[in-house]
Amino acid sequence: MHMSDALVSPMVAGTLWAATAGAAAASARALGERPDDRRVPLMGVLGAFVFAAQLVNFAIPGTGSSGHLGGGLLLSILLGPPAAFLVMTSVLTVQALFFADGGLLALGCNVVNLGFFTAFIAYPLVFSPIAGSRPSRPRLAAAAVAAAVVGLQLGSLGVVVETVVSGRTELPLGSFLLLMQPIHLAIGLVEGGVTAALVLFVRDARPDLLRSASTSRPFPLGPLRGLAGGFLLAALLTAGVFSGFASPKPDGLEWSLARASAGEAAPAGRLHRILSRIQERTAFFAEGREPAAGPGESRAIPGLSLPGLAGAALTLAFAGLLSAGLRALRRRSRAAPAP
């Protein structure tokens, strides 16, 4: 569901870039006010895992389409919304800069669609009420599936509105919705099932982690090395091995546009051209991808083990920079004189 620059106008893209910057600043400020460095290693490892998981497209039977995990809900459940939003921003930035997966101009749209809706709407308004303060296994699983579906439906709705408002497709709003929402309902159900399985595993291993992420309390005092190591191993296996078996079928957005034979305005604006040239120079791993059925997108192909591992490592590096920034913000806030 990563949008390319060809699908958005500069005005829409700029608006959502500003919204993303504001949400990221607020999230960083919220984390900076909580002197707790224990979540930082887990942020990096989970970011690498989500990056790797997004490489693996799974086929949707009977549709000719495919989908991949978004990961925003999983991050929100394990880290809390502010940290989840920042990690998702890092993941999508690495994908856009180094893999040409989603455009630079459209980066704000992709962060809102894949990060904001899950972290700040689906998690607090759907997952938390269903799961409750002491969730049983059935309630936790139901909450994960429901929130994943709602988050992905909001994200796909965002793609439709942003594309139509930008005037980048001839497809009417109603027709576009009738194609996008059902296919992303199927993808959301798969993501919900995978998220539920992972969250139940964490609940059995470290139930205190879920309680800490859902409240303002610090992270648990116990070591997180085992859990972080498990997710790191999963990230390496997914990026280095399983990504080679990703479905070559178009994802839900590509499938919707191709199925409707939708026309798309050429990204001929000056800003589009400038950002496209920048992305061509930074996207070192774009050569390992082939054009997909939809306009402006890319599709992973078998044999992407090295680029996948590199992307996971880059995500870890971005998380390291993020942690350094959060520590600096906390030091500054502590050193500031009281009013």
Is residue 226's pLDDT more than 60?
A: yes
260 vs 255, more confident? 255
What per-residue confidence (pLDDT) applies to 175?
85
Q: How far apart are CA 124 and CA 140, in angstroms?
A: 14
Percent of the chain with pLDDT over 70: 81
Looking at domain 5-335, its CATH architecture is Orthogonal Bundle (1.10)
Contact 13, 275 (CB under 8 A): no
What per-residue confidence (pLDDT) applies to 48?
92
Is residue 290's pLDDT more than 50?
A: no
Q: How far apart are CA 164 and CA 169, in angstroms?
A: 6
Query: How much is the average pLDDT of 259-285?
Result: 74
Query: How much is the average pLDDT of 278-305?
Result: 58
What per-residue confidence (pLDDT) applies to 215?
56
Confidence at 277, pLDDT banded by 50, 70, 90: confident
201's tokens:
């595993």
* Backbone φ/ψ region at 303: left (φ over 0), alpha (ψ -120 to 50), beta: left
pLDDT digits (tens, 9 = 90+) for 33-72: 765 666 777 888 999 999 999 989 999 988 889 999 999 9
pLDDT digits (tens, 9 = 90+) for 148-167: 999 999 999 999 999 999 98
Percent of the chain with pLDDT over 90: 44
Is residue 306's pLDDT more than 90?
A: no
- Residue ranges of the domains in the chain? 5-335
318 vs 119, more confident? 119
Verdict on whether the full-model pTM lies above 0.85? yes
Is residue 246's pLDDT more than 60?
A: yes
Is residue 101's pLDDT more than 50?
A: yes
146's tokens:
């429901």
What per-residue confidence (pLDDT) applies to 294?
43
What per-residue confidence (pLDDT) applies to 222?
58
324 vs 20, more confident? 20
What per-residue confidence (pLDDT) applies to 267?
55
Is residue 229's pLDDT more than 90?
A: no
What per-residue confidence (pLDDT) applies to 75?
95
Q: How far apart are CA 81 and CA 12, in angstroms?
A: 24
pLDDT digits (tens, 9 = 90+) for 200-224: 999 888 777 776 565 555 555 456 7
Instruction: Give the C-alpha distances (Å, rounded to integers) separating 324 from 83, 311, 317, 318.
Output: 14, 20, 11, 10
Residues 237-242: contacts with CB under 8 Å, at least 24 apart: 238/49, 238/52, 238/53, 238/55, 238/56, 238/308, 239/48, 239/51, 239/52, 239/55, 239/305, 239/308, 239/309, 239/311, 239/312, 240/305, 240/306, 240/308, 240/309, 241/305, 242/52, 242/55, 242/56
- What average pLDDT does the structure give for the chain? 83
The string of DSSP codes covering 216-254 is SSPPPSS--HHHHHHHHHHHHHHHHTGGGG---S-BHHH
